[in-house]
């Protein structure tokens, strides 16, 4: 299809359109077209539908339209035509010609249209045809087609008798086509002998023609029709006397006061809608009636129907009816009734078994009709085993029983919006509805639904929960909802949906109405917002999914939320988190590696210098390797502690406090509790991590004190490179005097004298 309407194309010629040989529909509505040349449609010659509505065409070339040999539908509405003398004789495949709203004064078709064997519709509405003569229908009669003729809104004054004699039409529309009631009366008589399947008559609005009734409709008795549609029929049953043989009667906006004892013979469908006056409906014994619709009337007095064995469909909605002891007493003798609509009425007072005798019902609609505040009981729908559709929305109904629908084994659609559900009835209400496909429980003030609610609904495809108070949708992951295709939850209190629920939504879900919920548009819900943005195809109202904002702020759509800023913030947060973790790990490693120094730092912070003014418990703290313990005990302890005066040594194997950490003992008992520190250097000392730590702590301590309290004893020679393994030891040996142990007794005597003097010396 090419819609080129409302453009400016004053002249149509070959160069206007490119070669579009596959184009089937061309719309040129109101393009200011004045001239159509012979070859105007050469490049679109396979068009089947051409619309030229609203163009002031003053010239059409002889072959201007004839090149469209495959044209089936031609629309020349409001083009200024005054006659049908248009060259389209080659359009033998034409099926529909619409030339309404012009100035045509005769409905006579050009003779070449006799060859149009597939022609089926001639629309002449709103022209200037006032007189119809016998010759005007000659071509129509010779076409022998099953044609629809539309003459509505023409100012018809006169129809020559015999004009439509023995003419067969599929449909004749003469609605609002007579200038007066007298013209209508005579015109209907002029239609005598017409055979038509569907006859449409009446006025769009009350005007000069008035509302026809009585003798003005007698001419209908001379027309053979199967169906009749009447707009604004009269007010009494006598107006029906010429249409009693119709099989289908439709009357809209009439003034019918009663339908009683009308001898309908073959009627199958009766429609009376939007009646302007109260109507007394009393129909019985219409053995052929299959469908009855009394719709949106001003008021309907209804006392019941009876003895209609073929009646299958009854619609009495919008009639302001109030029925007492409904409903089986109002519908008797109709075993084939399958559809009953009593919606949008005043109220129904249900009897004990309201649907007794209506076991064939498949559709029951009671929405917007008060059930007199009735609390629905267990056996209410007991007699409806074949019911497939039930609508009790806004029916002033209260549910307490959990087994109300237990007999509706074949129910497919259940609508119960706006009803009151008490206790735990909702949890078990649908347990037996295994064939249910659509469930509507909107506007019921529901805050949450238990998983058990959907236990008996394996075929559910459409779930409607609009206008409730839901905040979470965790039930959507229920196994029985895997086949869900449409889910409506607009106007609730949903701020977000958890990611695990979004990832486990029903795989067939194609419609998700989340509109008018207070969505939390914050970076904390970025995953949810990204999910909405990425699945817009399942949201029919994505423009109405709005962020929760203050009342004064302008509305903002969720899909317009600035997710990029959140991504930058998240990236920054991740980087900062990683840095924090790394810093924590590094700090932990450093704390573990330098735990002695940390301990020592804590001592300084709590006033270490003040603690040094206290008297020390030991004269010297000995740092040595456990593998050199025999020398320490046999030589060092023996010569110092047993000498005169005795020197009190602090040894870790003997003097450290049990239960206290090693680091605390080294600092509190060893370094802080001793005046001097003796370090026994050996190969074992170099290899011992604890010896290295003790020496490093002691060295840092002495640096802060500003005195030389470390006495080095070289128990055995150690390679210079190895001494560098201990932080500060190599430098200390280079700058300070140390003692060296040897096996010579004379040298050893001098060793002990020097050591004792070093330990006893006061700083």
Domain spans of the chain, in order of start: 437-561, 614-760
The predicted structure's pLDDT at residue 87? 84
The predicted structure's pLDDT at residue 563? 82
The predicted structure's pLDDT at residue 484? 96
Q: Where are the beta strands (DSSP E) in 135-257?
A: 147-150, 158-159, 168-173, 195-202, 224-231, 248-252
Q: Evaluate if pTM is beyond 0.75.
A: no
The predicted structure's pLDDT at residue 601? 62
For the purposes of burial, counting CB atoms within 10 Å of the CB of 125, is it exposed (0-12), middle (13-18) or buried (19 or more)? buried
The predicted structure's pLDDT at residue 607? 38
Sheet holding 59-60, edge to edge: 11-12, 35-36, 59-60
271's enclosing H/E stretch is strand 269-273
Model confidence band, residue 610 (pLDDT cutoffs 50, 70, 90): very low
For the purposes of burial, counting CB atoms within 10 Å of the CB of 555, is it exposed (0-12), middle (13-18) or buried (19 or more)? exposed
Bigger pLDDT: 743 or 174? 174
Model confidence band, residue 469 (pLDDT cutoffs 50, 70, 90): very high
From CA 294, how far away is CA 270, in angstroms rounded?
A: 8
Asked if 191 contacts 161 with a C-beta cutoff of 8 angstroms, the reply is no
Across 368-393, average pLDDT: 81
Model confidence band, residue 606 (pLDDT cutoffs 50, 70, 90): very low
Q: How many CB atoms lie within 10 A of CB 17?
A: 18
In this predicted structure, the answer to whether residue 663 has a pLDDT above a threshold of 80 is no
Across 608-623, average pLDDT: 69
The predicted structure's pLDDT at residue 692? 83
For 200-210, write each residue's pLDDT tens digit.
Answer: 998 876 654 45
Please give the share of the chain, as a percent, with pLDDT higher than 90.
44
Main-chain phi, psi angles of 275, to 5 degrees: -65, 140
Q: How many CB atoms lie within 10 A of CB 336?
A: 12
The predicted structure's pLDDT at residue 464? 97
Task: State the chain's mean pLDDT as an integer.
Answer: 87
Q: Give the three-state DSSP class for 238.
A: helix
In this predicted structure, the answer to whether residue 685 has a pLDDT above a threshold of 90 is no
Would 437-561 and 614-760 be classified into the same CATH topology? Answer: no
Bigger pLDDT: 395 or 351? 395
In this predicted structure, the answer to whether residue 167 has a pLDDT above a threshold of 90 is yes
The predicted structure's pLDDT at residue 538? 94
Strand partners of residue 740:
714
Please give the share of the chain, as a percent, with pLDDT higher than 70.
92
Q: Which has the closest alpha carbon to 516: 497, 536, 492, 534?
A: 492
The predicted structure's pLDDT at residue 104? 95
The predicted structure's pLDDT at residue 217? 84
Bigger pLDDT: 314 or 427? 314
In this predicted structure, the answer to whether residue 163 has a pLDDT above a threshold of 90 is yes
In this predicted structure, the answer to whether residue 35 has a pLDDT above a threshold of 90 is yes
CATH superfamily of 614-760: Toll/interleukin-1 receptor homology (TIR) domain (3.40.50.10140)
In this predicted structure, the answer to whether residue 219 has a pLDDT above a threshold of 80 is yes
Q: What CATH fold (topology level) applies to the domain 437-561?
A: 3.80.10
């Amino acid at each position: 299809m090419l819609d080129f309407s409302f453009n400016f194309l004053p002249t149509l010629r070959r160069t206007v359109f490119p070669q579009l040989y596959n184009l089937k529909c061309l719309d040129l509505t109101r393009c200011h077209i004045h001239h159509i040349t012979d070859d105007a449609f050469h490049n679109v010659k396979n068009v089947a539908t051409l619309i030229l509505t609203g163009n002031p065409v003053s010239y059409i070339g002889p072959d201007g339209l004839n090149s469209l040999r495959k044209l089936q539908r031609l629309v020349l509405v409001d083009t200024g035509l005054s006659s049908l003398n248009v060259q389209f004789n080659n359009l033998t495949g034409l099926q529909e010609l619409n030339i309404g709203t012009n100035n045509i004064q005769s409905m006579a078709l050009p003779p070449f249209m006799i060859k149009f064997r597939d022609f089926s519709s001639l629309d002449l509405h709103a022209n200037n045809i006032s007189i119809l003569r016998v010759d005007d229908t000659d071509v129509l009669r010779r076409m022998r087609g099953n044609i629809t003729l539309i003459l509505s809104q023409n100012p018809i004054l006169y129809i020559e008798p015999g004009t439509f004699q023995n003419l067969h039409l599929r449909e004749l529309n003469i609605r609002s086509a007579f200038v007066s009631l007298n013209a209508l009366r005579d015109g209907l008589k002029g239609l005598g002998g017409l055979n038509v399947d569907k006859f449409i008559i009446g006025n769009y609005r009350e005007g000069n023609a008035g509302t026809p009734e009585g003798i003005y409709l007698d001419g209908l008795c001379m027309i053979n029709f199967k169906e009749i549609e009447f707009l604004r029929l009269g007010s009494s049953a006598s107006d029906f006397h010429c249409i009693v043989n119709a099989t289908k009667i439709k009357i809209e906006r009439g003034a019918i006061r009663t339908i009683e004892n009308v001898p309908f013979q073959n009627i199958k469908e009766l429609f009376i809608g939007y009646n302007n006056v109260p109507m007394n409906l009393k129909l019985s014994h219409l053995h052929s009636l299959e469908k009855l619709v009394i719709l949106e009337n001003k008021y309907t007095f209804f006392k019941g129907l009876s003895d209609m064995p073929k009646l299958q469909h009854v619609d009495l909605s919008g009639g302001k009816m109030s029925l007492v002891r409904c409903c089986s007493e109002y519908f008797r003798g109709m075993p084939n009734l399958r559809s009953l609509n009593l919606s949008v009425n005043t109220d129904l007072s249900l009897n004990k078994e309201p649907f007794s005798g209506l076991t064939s019902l498949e559709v029951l609609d009671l929405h917007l009709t008060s059930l007199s505040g009735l609390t629905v009981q267990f056996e209410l729908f007991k007699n409806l085993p074949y019911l497939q559709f039930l609508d009790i929305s806004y029916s002033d109904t209260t549910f307490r029983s959990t087994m109300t629908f237990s007999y509706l084994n074949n129910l497919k659609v259940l609508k119960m919006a706006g009803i009151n559900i008490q206790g735990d009835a909702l949890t078990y209400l649908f347990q037996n509805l295994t064939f249910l496909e659509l469930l509507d429980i909107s506007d019921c003030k529901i805050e949450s639904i238990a998983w058990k609610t959907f236990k008996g609904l394996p075929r559910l495809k459409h779930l409607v929960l609009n206008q409730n108070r839901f905040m979470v949708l965790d039930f959507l992951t229920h196994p029985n909802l895997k086949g869900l295709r449409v889910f409506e939850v607009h106007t609730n209190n949903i701020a977000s949906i958890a990611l695990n629920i979004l990832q486990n939504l029903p795989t067939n879900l194609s419609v998700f109405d989340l509109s008018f919920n207070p969505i939390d548009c914050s970076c904390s819900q970025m995953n949810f917002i990204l999910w909405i943005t990425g699945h817009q195809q399942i949201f029919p109202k994505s423009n109405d999914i709005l962020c929760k904002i203050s009342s004064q702020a302008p509305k903002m759509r969720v899909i317009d939320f600035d997710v990029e800023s959140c991504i930058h913030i998240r990236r920054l947060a991740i980087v900062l988190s990683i840095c924090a973790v790394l810093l924590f790990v590094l700090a932990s490693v450093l704390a573990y590696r330098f735990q002695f120094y940390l301990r020592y730092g804590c001592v300084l912070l709590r006033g270490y210098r003040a603690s040094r003014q206290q008297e020390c418990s030991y004269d010297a703290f000995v740092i040595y390797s456990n593998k050199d313990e025999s020398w320490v005990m046999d030589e060092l302890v023996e010569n110092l502690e047993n000498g005169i005066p005795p020197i009190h040594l602090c040894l870790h194997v003997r003097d450290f406090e049990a239960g206290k950490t090693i680091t605390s003992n080294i600092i509190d008992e060893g370094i802080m509790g001793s005046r001097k520190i003796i370090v026994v250097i050996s190969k074992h000392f170099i290899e011992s991590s604890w010896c290295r730590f003790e020496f490093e702590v002691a060295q840092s301590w002495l640096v802060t004190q500003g005195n030389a309290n470390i006495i080095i004893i070289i128990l055995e020679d150690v390679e210079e490179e190895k001494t560098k393994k201990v932080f500060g030891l190599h430098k200390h040996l280079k700058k300070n005097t140390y003692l060296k142990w040897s096996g010579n007794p004379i040298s050893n005597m001098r060793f002990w004298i020097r050591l004792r003097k070093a330990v006893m010396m006061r700083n």
